[in-house]
Amino acid sequence: MTSQKYIDLLQEKIMPSIEQLYPNDDYIYQDDCDSIHRSKIVLDFIKHHIPNRIMTEDQASKLDDVWPIENIWSIIRMNLKKKDYQDLFQVKAEIVKIWKNFDINLCAKMMSSIPKRLQA
C-alpha cells in the first residue's frame, strides 16, 4: 500500500464509517505506527481531517506487542502456511475463512490483556 492509497482508504471507507458510527465525533483515531501511516502526506491529511487523534509524538514507536490485531495477523499467517495456493483469489478466500472462524474467546482474551500490556 502507498501513502496515497491509505489516504484514499481513509477518505472513501474509514471516515464515512467513523462518521456513521460516531456522529458526534466521539472517537479517538490512532494509527498502528506503520511507516505509510507516518508519511508526511498522510500526517498532513490526518491533521486537517481527523481532529480526534492521538498525536504521533505521543505514541510509542512500536506497539505491536500491545495491539491484538498484530497477534491476529500472526495467527492468520501461520494458518495460511498450512496450505498451498494456486492464486491470490485462493489466498484471499482462505484469509476470509480464517477470519470468520477466529475464536471469539481468544479475541476477547487478547482485548482484556491490553491494560496489563500497556503497563509493562
Residue 25 region by backbone torsions, left for phi larger than 0, else alpha for psi between -120 and 50, else beta? left
Q: Is the pLDDT of residue 50 over 70?
A: yes
Identify the pLDDT of residue 119: 73
Contacts of 75 (CB under 8 A, 6+ apart): 98, 102
Asked if residues 46 and 29 have their Cβ atoms less than 8 Å apart, the reply is yes
Look up the pTM and report it.
0.53
What's the rounded mean pLDDT across residues 65-89?
88
% the chain with pLDDT above 90: 40
* Span of 4-18, 26-40, 48-62, 77-91 with lowest mean pLDDT: 48-62
